[in-house]
Amino acid sequence: MANHVGVWWRIGVVASVLWFVGCFAYGYIDEVQRLNIIVSDLMKMCLADGTKTFDSCWADTARWRSTQPTWVTLGEIAVVVALPLPVMWTLGLLVWIMYRLGRWIRAGFAPINNSMR
């Protein structure tokens, strides 16, 4: 039975790593795309009136970007992605405990093997 636990442990580690890498990449890409849309809209509004050049509008958006707290750091993304991992491992442990408890209870109701006498 210990071998089965080792297999499930490896599956859990691989799933956790895949979760972390995949969700981290998704979160980073989503944040970059969201901010690119905002900057693009700001550039369009700035250039729409026709009084400013592209370079001056770019400088304005650069000033805006530097003052915005919405630029998420990689550490913040990593923390948000890692938060569900302990919950998932705890749920996995609870499922395993319930499974083992069920097998233990079922073994208590099994008929006694009389051939051993």
Nearest alpha-carbon partner for 21 in 77, 72, 71, 70: 77
How far apart (Å, rounded) are the C-alpha atoms in residues 100 and 4?
12
Residue 89 lies inside a defined structural domain of this protein: no
Per-residue pLDDT at 32: 80
Residue 12 falls inside a structural domain? yes
So what's the pLDDT on residue 4? 65
For 36, the domain range is 7-82
The answer to whether residues 84 and 27 touch, using CB atoms and an 8 Å cutoff, is no
The answer to whether residue 90 sits within a structural domain is no
Is residue 77 included in any domain, yes or no?
yes
pLDDT of residue 3: 62
Looking at residue 101, its pLDDT comes to 93
Within a domain: 100: no
Per-residue pLDDT at 21: 92
Residues of the chain with pLDDT under 70: 1-5, 67-72, 114-117
In the 8-state DSSP scheme, what is residue 115?
G
Integer Cα distance of 81 and 79 in angstroms: 5
Integer Cα distance of 65 and 10 in angstroms? 43
In-domain check, residue 61: yes
Total tally of structural domains belonging to the chain: 1
For the record, the structure tokens of 47 come out as 């250039």
pLDDT, position 98 = 94
* Residue 116 within any structural domain of the chain: no
**CA distances for 105 relative to 73, 109, 110, angstroms:** 50, 7, 9
pLDDT of residue 102: 92
